[in-house]
A and B are shown apart, each in its own frame.
Chain A
Amino acid sequence: MDPEREEKRVDERIRAAYRQPSAADEPARERLIARLASERTPRASGLRGWFAVREYHARPVWVFATLVAVLAVGSWLGARFAGRHAPIAMVPVAGPSDASTLPVTFVLRAPGATRVAVVGDFNNWDASATPMAHSGSGDLWVLNVRLPRGVHLYWFVLDGSEWRPDPSAPLAADGSFGGHNSVVVVNGGSGL
């Protein structure tokens, strides 16, 4: 056999023997992962006084109580400020400015439609809640609303039955109920 090929062949067999896994590999890896999990990074040092870093010495009762306290406060605060508690009836922009909502204008050109509404996350998908106004020059339908900051999905509904995406808006994923919702992002800058 050609010496170079022969050398390659032997190398391959050596390599195969070298790479053969051992029964001790996985336990060793698990021990490493456990060790890494027990070692805190410097950024977490704020809690270091309460949690032992390399050797677990803390009294379990107080560690548990502290953990639960931190989690409970966090989730309670999160729930207070993230949730909305009742359906919002949308009305055209009026009244004092509210920092938690921003003005958004929906526009659709729909020649031939007799009524158009916006239906989406922000009105609990109630097609009767936010009718659009027919703009003077014939085909345009307009709605000005105030929406909370965030990502909102919606459709236009024409004459009570035709669901149409907003041609000028980005599309969301196919939302399990047929078709792609339109997306409006309300943030500090201009909404989409």
Chain B
Amino acid sequence: MNRALPLVAVLVLMLAPAARAGDEASDEARLGARLAPDVARQVAVLVQEARAAGLPTDPLVARAFEGASRGADAAGIVGGVRRQAGAQAAARGALGNGSQPDEIVAGASALLAGVPADSLARLRLARPGGSLVIPLVVLCDLVARGVPADAASVAVVTAARAGATDNVLLRIRERIHTGIENGGAPAGTTGEVVRQWLRVTAGHGRHGEGAGGESKRKTP
């Protein structure tokens, strides 16, 4: 094993640059097909940096194409990609190095929406070992619709900590929307919907105590 390892290392070292060059050429081809050469080059650099850092690259390419199709200028396109790249790095920092690519992408969106990084870390604690994609999507959605970031964070983290599944979180999201569309204040509506769910869950979870049993869970 000791003798084989340097051989393996050399082989991989020989292969890796070729594979890396293949990816880079593919990036530039894709980008060059849609973007002006200068923009394609700048975006390709950001994509390569993200790849080297082990961060998702497709969302960066997608952001560039989105900018192009929305008529953004060169600075706008590159700026948008750079913001996405930065948010992805920050999301991984907050969610932990073992995060799945989809979690990083969803987390980046949440950060860009104004959700504080601490909330992402708390979400990880609230649902250890489970995917955070839906909780992050729900959190981002609430903030994008006008719920203050701290109220949205507390609500989603509390629900997740209390065992809310992805489907439950999506239903909670819908109820909050309905409440806001019916004139409720975003923060108050958010808190109330989650409290209602906690009460209902506490009632169902305590056998023999009935729906009136007191919940010991802390409410936001």
Contact = CB atoms under 8 A, between A and B. Distances in A.
Q: Do chains A and B touch in the complex (CB under 8 A)?
A: yes
Interface of A: 62, 65-66, 68-69, 72-76, 78-80, 82-87, 119-121, 124-127, 149-151, 153, 163, 170-178, 180-181, 183, 185, 187, 189, 192
Given A76-B19, A185-B137, A150 B101 contact: yes
B140 A171 contact: yes
A80 B63 contact: no
Given A68-B9, A83-B58, A172 B140 contact: yes
A131 B28 CA distance: 27
A69 B130 CA distance: 31
A72 B51 contact: no
A178 B145 CA distance: 15
- Majority SS at the chain A contact face: mixed
8 contacts: A65-B13, A68-B13, A69-B8, A124-B65, A151-B102, A176-B76, A177-B80, A185-B137
A149 B58 CA distance: 13
A24 B68 CA distance: 55
Given A75-B16, A86-B30, A174 B112 contact: yes
A153 B83 CA distance: 16
Contacts of B164: none
Contacts of A85: 26, 30
Contacts of B166: 189
Per CB-CB distance, the 4 closest pairs between chain A and chain B, nearest first, are A173-B112, A170-B141, A173-B113, A176-B80
B6 A192 contact: no
Contacts of A163: 70
A176 B69 contact: no
B110 interface: yes
Contact of A125 (B12, B68, B110): B68
